[in-house]
Amino acid sequence: MKLLITGASGFLGKYVVAEALRHGFQVRAVIRHTSDEKRLPWCNADNLELIRINLTESKGLEDALEGIDTVVHLAAAKQGNYDTQYANTVAATENLLKAMVVADIKRLVAISTFSVYDYLNIRDRVINEDSAIESQPNYRDIYAQTKLIQESLFRDFEQTNRGEVTILRPGIVYGRNNLWNAHLGINLKNRLWIRIGGNAQLPLTYVENCAQAIVSACSRREAIGETLNIVDSDLPTQKVYAQKIVKLLPRQPSIGINWTLMRLLSRSAWLSHKILLGIKLPGILIPARLEARFKPFSYSNEKAQNILDWQPKYSLNEALKRSCSEIDALWDVANKTGIASRSHK
């Protein structure tokens, strides 16, 4: 089977390519024109073809899809203004799907996010694939807004073109050089850490565990037509995770705010905002954004485990150990499987 993997040079994409090669797939990896391929440990691997394409343009996409069996679409923007994120998430997806229609490629493993859930209005304490999707995206951040549009594009492709689509929603993907996450609080220019709450479970997925789930979906016919949440099995609370990583990050003073108090402050500020039109609130005081990050929930990966025949390989402690090892986890994966570039230093 031959895979086209977009976003291949991104944090998660690098591991997905390595995992796909380890499983014997042929891979055509899409990277940005600005990406330094020498920093990709698998860049000279057998069964790998690197191509540079700007997904915000349609040029070259149809050629890139020639001979492809399955598309794994990881590319998206997490930062920037609305125009930037729309172009790199929504417009890029539109271009890719149009090219897939022309090339008559049906199979798509599409990477979404937990950000699409309607955290403010979900009443159940467990988030699963049946939980409500955000109904008022204008109150959420740009990333959530554009990913919601992207998911709708995936579903339109599935319905209109009889696409064989699997939508995977990873939680917080973490690993080497990516241990901090916004669910821990507010990091003010690495000078002050404002901790909000402490008992909420974090929907973490270690990057290698997540990559394994994504690659498994490529060959599992049972996954077609499914939407699956990807999180690890031993999920820590904010407090537990913070205790584990605090020694690994630059030291900085911190203060804690009780979740109930913070929620009350947010709702009071939001009420004032609606009464006194024109008051601009920081994102943390907008209830929909606050609760998307800090509202206490539990998370289930049962459906993904059953359909993908997948078990997260690395526990939290093992994952943190790999993330902090002198040997980069990605290089370790590539080296052990004989797919690493000889030029890697």
Q: What is the pLDDT of residues 229-238, one digit of tens each?
A: 999 999 999 9
Q: With contact defined as beta carbons under 8 Å apart, do 27 and 17 qualify? A: yes
| pTM exceeds cut of 0.75 | yes
d(CA 290, CA 281): 12
Residue 256: inside a domain:
no
Q: How many CB atoms lie within 10 A of CB 186?
A: 15
User: Model confidence at 300, in pLDDT bands (50, 70, 90)?
Assistant: very high
Average model confidence (pLDDT) across the chain: 93
Q: What is the pLDDT of residues 81-135, one digit of tens each?
A: 999 999 999 999 999 999 999 999 999 999 999 999 999 999 999 999 999 999 9
Domain of residue 21, residue span: 2-173+203-232+297-314+325-336
Residue 184: inside a domain:
no
Residue 88: inside a domain:
yes
Residue 249: inside a domain:
no
Q: In the prediction, which pLDDT does 178 show?
A: 94
The DSSP secondary structure of 241-276, one letter per residue, reads HHHHHTTTS----EEEE-HHHHHHHHHHHHHHHHHS
Q: In the prediction, which pLDDT does 251 show?
A: 78
3-class DSSP state for residue 339?
Answer: coil
User: Model confidence at 341, in pLDDT bands (50, 70, 90)?
Assistant: very low
d(CA 133, CA 32): 31
User: Model confidence at 345, in pLDDT bands (50, 70, 90)?
Assistant: very low
Axis-axis angle for helices 142-160, 92-103 (nearest 10): 10
Partners of 48 in the β-ladder: 27
Q: In the prediction, which pLDDT does 340 show?
A: 54
Structure tokens at 297: 């929930």
Gyration radius (Cα) of the chain, Å: 20
Residue 284: inside a domain:
no
The total of structural domains in the chain comes to 1
Percent of the chain exceeding pLDDT 70 equals 94
User: Model confidence at 280, in pLDDT bands (50, 70, 90)?
Assistant: confident
Residue 265: inside a domain:
no
Written as one letter, the residue type at 281 is: L
